[in-house]
Copies of this chain bind each other. A is one copy, B any other.
Amino acid sequence: MVEAAVSRGFEIAGAVDIDPQIAGKSLAQICPGAPTDVVVAADLAEACARSEPDAAVLTTVSSLVAARGQIEVLASKGVPVVSTCEELSFPWEADPGTAKEIDESCRAGGVACLGTGVNPGYLMDFLPTVLSAPCLRVDAVQVWRVQDASARRVPFQQKIGAGLDSEQFEQKREEGVLRHVGLRESAGYIASSLGWSLDGYEETLEPVVADTPISAGYAPIEPGQARGVLQIGRGYCAGSEIITLTFRAAVGEPESYERVRIEGIPELEWRCEGGINGDVATCAVTLNAVRSVLSAQPGLRTMADIRPVTFGPAGEEL
């Protein structure tokens, strides 16, 4: 993220890492290309005391509850926040109490706060709602994010369970570590934007199992082992499945693509062959959101109530 921010023309005012092996070092030692005069602080208060940042990019946790304290510190210092915290992207369904607390802290500090990223934040929520703009009626929204994980980072391949046998996969599924966090938030975001009230939501997660040996990933995968995950989130209203979000990421997947289908008037489908690399795109969406957040009303915002996020001049207020 630091490298991406520098390449996008952002000035790095400070950095924080709680790891005692990292705090105290020059940021340039950790992230090539970073300015040499920025020393990594051990906590947010220390970093804010040293500089007066226009905005903070918070990429620490997936959990809303875990992010709350960090956002409160930043809000109390008057620093707007863009965070990749998945549960922050649309917390109003899953945990409205914590969302309200964060909202109030941000209003008190006079700053806006946004959870975003490529997914959740963009591909399976913001973008499908924007693609519904030419529709006079929308009956259902279906989104597919299908990825060949062969070329992705090793931690990503591990995160999707590549190489696990069925017992190991089951164990890790129960631990919750295989789960992509964000489908529920994306479904809530779509429903809220389109004016729908979901009366049910369910999510399934199963392995994509190799039927031939696969050598495309970071380690060989034998037949019968998982080569990735298939996770589907389904939102219901009055017995109908009106939102279907399919996330499939596997080593050796024959094709990668993004696909959004809207049933309604008119019916339409958009497709991006090759898909969008999540590592680059998460950095991009997050950094590109900064200028929309700088011009937003104070409070906990979503991608739906700030100016449309696009590529644009770094950090310049819209």
Contacts and interface: CB of A to CB of B under 8 A. Distances in A.
A198 interface: no
A223 interface: no
Interface string A3-19: 01001100000000000
A136 B285 CA distance: 8
Copies in the complex: 2
A294 B280 CA distance: 35
Interface string A118-144: 100011001101111111111000000
Given A134-B276, A136-B280, A308-B308, 19 more contacts: A8-B136, A122-B133, A127-B130, A129-B308, A129-B310, A132-B288, A133-B289, A133-B309, A136-B283, A195-B312, A264-B311, A266-B276, A268-B272, A268-B274, A269-B274, A270-B272, A271-B272, A305-B318, A307-B307
A318 B194 CA distance: 11
A127 B128 CA distance: 11
A118 B134 contact: yes
Interface string A293-312: 00000000001111111111
Contact of A303 (B131, B308, B313): B308
A315 to B, nearest CB: 11
A287 interface: yes
Interface in A255-276: 258, 264-266, 268-274, 276
8 contacts: A127-B130, A127-B131, A134-B284, A135-B284, A194-B312, A269-B272, A303-B308, A308-B308
A133 B272 contact: no
A274 B136 CA distance: 17
B268 A271 contact: no
Nearest to A305: B307
A78 to B, nearest CB: 22
B136 A193 contact: no
Interface in A32-84: none
Contacts of A8: 136-137
Contacts of A311: 129, 132-133, 135, 137-138, 194, 264
A277 interface: yes
A214 interface: no
A28 interface: no
